[in-house]
């Protein structure tokens, strides 16, 4: 049986400002309007024979985003392994391999990043079938993309002698300069390194034991001290933090003699930057070479990507630009320098600016909220609570709240005094009704209905930070 493993740990900083640390590109509908990249990766498995529900490896911050997006496409049995801290792909896959092997000693793992696009799912499934033949023989299989251009943004794989339906790997090559990339393309012996793998869980663990025993040792100890709740598997955070950060390429693939590569050409892209998203659009979907999303008007504009999230964007007389608008930031870049967007994100982080981490709309396991107005003494939010969801039973030391229901029905639970849990009462609010939560009052908000609950929250107080929350009870296990 093939255990699909989806790696969902990336931050997608080159796609800022749409992709943010707390809501990165794998959760966005960048390729299809009705599915995120993570959901596309999971749906792709329907065409691959012999696969079960996926294992998703992600960080603690994204756990509810993963769970909700898997639920939306009917994959409610997905196991989600939580990394206490990012340590790159080699340790992440060690945890997944230990989980898969505990179910079946002969488990094969199909490893896919959560943030790639594959246009031809059947071509991908056929390549996986070929790879599985090699994986069952103990080979560590990677999938190489047949190159169409001398791309300098990808690593390359040099194929060697034929091996079954693929080839032995002769060498892994770092991202080349333009001249070298052109020679790779001309030779026909090189493939783009896709970061997609297939191998037996036991074979990968054996390779780690030989080439990176320190990584395996830490991961085994952290996994042995695991705990599980709902679909989440948590390893010991203190032990896992001792693991060094390393990719599977450096830890295993560049050392093993069992590496094999299967070529494929399924219309693949890692959407590494905005220029890749421009190139992903088919010519018939472009106007004068422009890839357009949202409310956009253009005049005498060519070969540009213009992406609007919240308002009208107009472009006049420009060429080869990336213009991306969100409700709190605008990016303008030369399309051929789009990779350098990451440098802006690094500068935002260094300055301690929240635009590197969060959108104005912040997602929570119960729904989301959008900050409409923020000053030193008051804040206005739109809050959306999903049907059947509830916030934690909580209290604030520094702020009072006024709620006005604008759509749906709210169930409000509220105490009678400062921090009083002894006499909680519950009542319903319908549209156009409101309530006031005094500072220090224990309270909870819940949506008992079948449609999303929308309300406006006005906060007043001396401190309005999200860390001013004392939780007494929480459906989602948050502290």
pLDDT at 141 exceeding the cut of 90:
yes
Tokens of 152: 């300098």
19 Ramachandran zone, left/alpha/beta (phi>0; psi -120 to 50) = beta
Per-residue model confidence (pLDDT) at position 420: 77
Q: Measure the CA–CA gap between 133 and 3, rounded to whole angstroms.
A: 15
Whether residue 471 contacts residue 442, with contact meaning beta carbons closer than 8 Å, is answered with no
SS3 breakdown of the chain: % helix, strand, coil, rounded to 5? 30, 35, 35
Per-residue model confidence (pLDDT) at position 1: 84
Mean pLDDT, residues 428-440: 96
Per-residue model confidence (pLDDT) at position 105: 93
* pLDDT confidence bin for 108, thresholds 50/70/90: very high
Instruction: Provide φ and ψ at 72, rounded to 5°.
Output: -60, -30
Mean pLDDT, residues 153-173: 94
Per-residue model confidence (pLDDT) at position 121: 94
Cα dihedral 294, 296, 300, 303, rounded to 10, equals -20
Task: Report residue 454 CA to chain centroid gap.
Answer: 26
Per-residue model confidence (pLDDT) at position 102: 94
Nearest to 256 by CA among 221, 209, 191: 209
**439: helix, strand or coil:** coil
Per-residue model confidence (pLDDT) at position 283: 85
- How many helices (H) and strands (E) are present in the chain, helices listed first? 11, 30
Per-residue model confidence (pLDDT) at position 180: 93
Higher pLDDT, 16 or 77: 16
Instruction: Provide φ and ψ at 464, rounded to 5°.
Output: -120, 20
Could you give the C-alpha distances from 477 to 64, 82, 292, in angstroms and in order? 11, 14, 41
Per-residue model confidence (pLDDT) at position 276: 92
User: Which DSSP symbol is given to 220?
Assistant: H
pLDDT at 340 exceeding the cut of 90:
yes
Q: What is the CATH number of domain 2-269?
A: 3.90.550.10
Mean pLDDT, residues 375-389: 95
Per-residue model confidence (pLDDT) at position 461: 94
Per-residue model confidence (pLDDT) at position 359: 87
Per-residue model confidence (pLDDT) at position 230: 72
Relative to beta strand 140-145, strand 259-264 is: parallel
Relative to beta strand 232-234, strand 268-269 is: unpaired
Residue with tokens 């959108």: 359
Q: Measure the CA–CA gap between 440 and 417, rounded to whole angstroms.
A: 7
The H or E element spanning position 68 is: helix 63-72
Q: What is the CATH number of domain 361-473?
A: 2.60.120.10
pLDDT at 32 exceeding the cut of 90:
no
Mean pLDDT, residues 395-400: 95
| pTM reported for the whole predicted model | 0.89
Other CB atoms within 10 A of residue 141 CB: 33
In this structure, which long-range contacts are made by residues 415-419, counting pairs with CB atoms below 8 Å and at least 24 apart in sequence? 415/441, 415/442, 415/443, 416/441, 417/441, 419/395
Per-residue model confidence (pLDDT) at position 416: 84
Residue with tokens 């930031």: 329
Whether residue 140 contacts residue 163, with contact meaning beta carbons closer than 8 Å, is answered with no
Whether residue 405 contacts residue 447, with contact meaning beta carbons closer than 8 Å, is answered with no
* pLDDT confidence bin for 263, thresholds 50/70/90: very high
* pLDDT confidence bin for 12, thresholds 50/70/90: confident
Task: Report residue 150 CA to chain centroid gap.
Answer: 28
Nearest to 229 by CA among 121, 398, 80: 80
Mean pLDDT, residues 227-254: 94
pLDDT at 447 exceeding the cut of 90:
yes
pLDDT at 470 exceeding the cut of 80:
yes
Per-residue model confidence (pLDDT) at position 229: 81
Mean pLDDT, residues 373-378: 91
Q: Measure the CA–CA gap between 207 and 246, rounded to whole angstroms.
A: 14
Whether residue 308 contacts residue 293, with contact meaning beta carbons closer than 8 Å, is answered with yes
User: Which DSSP symbol is given to 249?
Assistant: I
Nearest to 368 by CA among 381, 380, 385: 385
* pLDDT confidence bin for 163, thresholds 50/70/90: very high
Relative to beta strand 291-293, strand 259-264 is: unpaired
pLDDT at 413 exceeding the cut of 90:
yes
* pLDDT confidence bin for 417, thresholds 50/70/90: confident
Per-residue model confidence (pLDDT) at position 34: 85
**Where do the structural domains in the chain lie, given as residue ranges?**
2-269, 275-344, 361-473
Share of the chain above pLDDT 90, in %: 85
Share of the chain above pLDDT 70, in %: 100
pLDDT at 478 exceeding the cut of 80:
no
Nearest to 324 by CA among 28, 117, 7, 84: 28
How long is the chain? Answer: 479
Q: Measure the CA–CA gap between 460 and 443, rounded to whole angstroms.
A: 16
**Which tens digit of pLDDT belongs to each residue from 272-310?**
899 999 988 888 889 899 999 999 999 999 999 999 999
46 burial via Cβ count (<10 Å: 0-12, 13-18, 19+): exposed
Mean pLDDT, residues 56-77: 92
**426: helix, strand or coil:** strand
Instruction: Provide φ and ψ at 135, rounded to 5°.
Output: -65, -35
């Amino acid at each position: 049986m093939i255990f699909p493993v989806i790696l969902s740990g990336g931050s997608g900083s080159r796609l800022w400002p749409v992709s943010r640390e707390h809501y990165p590109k794998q959760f966005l509908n960048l390729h299809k309007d009705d599915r995120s990249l993570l959901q596309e990766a999971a749906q792709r498995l329907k065409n691959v024979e012999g696969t079960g529900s996926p294992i998703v490896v992600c960080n603690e911050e994204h756990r509810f985003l993963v769970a909700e997006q898997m639920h939306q496409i009917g994959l409610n049995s997905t196991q989600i392994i939580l990394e206490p801290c990012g340590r790159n792909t080699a340790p992440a896959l060690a945890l997944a391999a230990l989980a898969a092997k505990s179910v079946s000693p002969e488990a094969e793992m199909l490893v896919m990043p959560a943030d790639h696009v594959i246009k031809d799912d059947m071509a991908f499934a056929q390549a996986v079938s070929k790879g599985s033949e090699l994986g069952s023989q103990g080979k560590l299989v990677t999938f190489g993309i047949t190159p169409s251009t001398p791309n300098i943004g990808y690593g390359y794989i040099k194929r060697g002698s034929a091996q079954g339906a693929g080839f032995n790997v002769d060498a892994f090559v770092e991202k080349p300069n333009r001249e070298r990339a052109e020679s790779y393309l001309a030779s026909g012996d090189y493939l783009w390194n896709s970061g997609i793998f297939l191998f037996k869980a036991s074979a990968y663990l054996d390779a780690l034991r030989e080439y990176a025993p320190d990584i395996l040792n830490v991961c085994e100890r952290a996994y042995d001290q695991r705990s599980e709740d709902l679909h989440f598997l948590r390893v010991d955070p203190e032990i896992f933090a001792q693991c060094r950060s390393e990719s599977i390429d450096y830890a295993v693939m560049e050392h093993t003699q069992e590496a094999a590569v299967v070529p494929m050409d399924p219309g693949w892209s890692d959407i590494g930057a905005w220029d890749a998203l421009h190139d992903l659009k088919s010519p018939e979907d472009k106007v004068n070479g422009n890839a357009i999303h949202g409310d956009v008007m253009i005049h005498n504009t060519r070969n540009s990507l213009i992406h609007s999230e919240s308002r009208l964007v107009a472009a006049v007389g420009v060429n080869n630009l990336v213009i991306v608008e969100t409700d709190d930031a605008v990016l303008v870049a030369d399309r051929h320098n789009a990779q350098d967007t990451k440098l802006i994100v690094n500068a935002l982080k260094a300055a301690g600016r929240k635009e590197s981490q969060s959108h104005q709309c912040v997602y929570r396991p119960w729904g989301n909220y959008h900050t409409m107005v923020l000053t030193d003494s008051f804040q206005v939010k739109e809050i959306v609570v999903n049907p059947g969801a509830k916030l934690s039973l909580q209290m604030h030391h520094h702020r009072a709240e006024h709620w006005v229901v604008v759509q749906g029905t709210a169930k409000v639970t509220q105490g009678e005094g400062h921090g009083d849990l002894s006499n909680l009462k519950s009542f319903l609010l319908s549209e156009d009704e409101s309530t006031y939560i005094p500072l220090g009052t224990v309270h909870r908000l819940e949506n008992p209905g079948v449609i999303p609950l929308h309300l406006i929250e006005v906060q007043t107080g001396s401190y309005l930070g999200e860390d001013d929350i004392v939780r007494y009870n929480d459906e989602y296990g948050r502290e």
